[in-house]
Amino acid sequence: MPLPLLALMLGVFCVGTAEVVIAGILPEMSADLNVSIPMAGLLVTGYALGVTIGGPIITMLTTKRSRKALLLSLMGIFIAGNLVAALAPNYSMLMGARIFTSMSHGTFAAVAWHVAALMSPPDKQATAMAKIALGFNFANVLGSPIGTFIGQQLGWRSTFVFITIFAVVVTLLIFKFVPRGLTTESGEAEESVPLREQLKVFRNGSLQLSMLITVLAQGAVFTTSTYLAPLLRDVGHFAAAMVGVLLVVFGIGSVLGNILGGKAADANVMRGVLRAQAALLVALLLLWFAIPHQLLAVIALFLFGAAGFSIIPALQARILSVASAAPALALSANVSAFNLGNGLGAWLGGTTIDLGFGVRAVTLTAALATSIALALSLAMWARGRRESPELPVLDVSTADAALSQKTP
């Protein structure tokens, strides 16, 4: 991986770890802060709401900043927020620190994806975006377990110290390796486009429909993934000690799916979206069938991880293909759509269980949501809208220079 993309991927790894690591240290935080487990769990909700609401707002307020300067500023906010979290004397201060930190999340991820696309040739942009999205995969597979271990051994505050130190290192890497002065194919820097013109991109029906598809497709993934532990234990009859191992299998599948989803979108963006959603639908139905049979269940879990995460680069590439006038702003809004999908999925799965259908049925609910998303995608493709499937790209000579790993 070229060093500029590696630096950006590690930045996404940082913000992703900060979001998910709380789940592993909830008991320690609850006991130390003298609050209930559900109250401590609201620290996750607060962060998610900050990402959903704050991301597009922060992106709009920073449209005039250069991409590199903005990335460094956002990492500064992230570092400050996690440092305050590590030192927070009470629950209220910690919640405030979490919300403050979340303000950097959506915009950083969106700008990192956009910069990765700008630094890549036309037929490699979705793959470059997939490499950035690997940061979120590794946050779940590595960041959360490592942060949990540190928090359990040294206290929950040490987890935030670890994240802060790592973020400082990543900031130095971004400063050294991410180039300045990125421009689009037209030769203009994105920050030169007036905000009023950028906001017009949301009038685009294809963009609106693409974001709705993001909510539904991501919601389908979280409808099932949120309840994987009870699904594996109660239906698959796996021992509790095996659940962690199986989640690693799911994580490995997600890494592979991320890469394959990017390659598919490189060839043709809309076709990549359709293939990713079709694969997700098949994987969910296979998981429903296979979960009572342990060997088949392991295979189906791996395929679900691969299919579920193949949608991320495909859907982000689709957003870029229809929002070339304001790519960072549109990507930031789509990050919010992903987070809305997370919440929708958790609610759909919980509602399915509460209605008495059983935990196994969450896979069928997810399949239904995927079917709706796929139908919308097919309708959008069939109408033959006139948007080009190509992504906006940096001038080839500048792209070559950026990826030659020269310092700025």
What's the chain's average pLDDT? 83
Minimum mean pLDDT among 56-70, 176-190, 316-330: which range? 176-190
Query: With pLDDT > 90 as the criterion, what percentage of the chain qualifies?
Result: 30
Give 155's DSSP letter.
-
Q: For residue 153, what are the CA distances in angstroms to 156, 164, 240?
A: 9, 18, 22
Give the model's pLDDT for residue 187: 43
pLDDT, position 398: 43
pLDDT band (50, 70, 90) for residue 182: low
* Helix count and strand count (H, E) for the chain: 18, 0
C-alpha closest to that of 18 among 134, 146, 174, 133: 146
**pLDDT per position as a tens digit, 202-234:** 777 788 888 899 999 988 998 888 788 788 888
Q: Is 50 exceeded by the pLDDT of residue 358?
A: yes
Least confident of 79-88, 92-101, 125-134: 125-134
| pLDDT value of residue 87 | 94
Of the ranges 72-86, 125-139, 303-317, 329-343, the best mean pLDDT one: 72-86
d(CA 81, CA 78): 5
Instruction: Report whether pLDDT(407) > 60.
Output: no
Tell me the average pLDDT across 172-187. Answer: 74
Q: Rounded to an integer, what distance in angstroms lies between the CA atom of residue 186 and that of residue 395?
A: 8
Structural domains in the chain, CATH included, are 1-185+393-408 (1.20.1250.20), 195-391 (1.20.1250.20)
Assigned token pair, 301: 């879990």
d(CA 388, CA 392): 10
What integer pLDDT is reported at residue 199 of this predicted model? 72
Q: Is the dihedral of CA 224, 147, 59, 91 positive or negative?
A: positive
- Confidence category of residue 79, pLDDT binned at 50, 70, 90: very high
pLDDT at res. 406: 44
The pLDDT assigned to 391 comes to 47
Least Cα distance to 76 among 54, 98, 101, 53 occurs for 101
pLDDT greater than 60 at residue 402: no
**What is the reported pTM?**
0.75
The answer to whether 323 and 395 have CB atoms below 8 angstroms apart is: no
Give me the pLDDT at residue 190, please.
Answer: 53
Token look-up 């769990």 returns 41
The answer to whether 78 and 19 are in contact (CB under 8 A) is no
CA distance 115 to 112: 5
Which of 135-149, 291-305, 317-331 bottoms out in mean pLDDT, i.e. has the lowest?
Answer: 317-331
**Distance between CA atoms of 403 and 356, rounded to whole angstroms?**
54
Asked if residues 385 and 101 have their Cβ atoms less than 8 Å apart, the reply is no
Q: What's the CA dihedral at 233, 235, 238, 239 to 10 degrees?
A: 40
Q: Tell me: the pLDDT tens digits for 236-247?
A: 888 877 877 887
3-state secondary structure of 113: helix
Q: Decide: residue 82, CB within 10 A, 0-12 exposed, 13-18 middle, 19+ buried.
A: buried
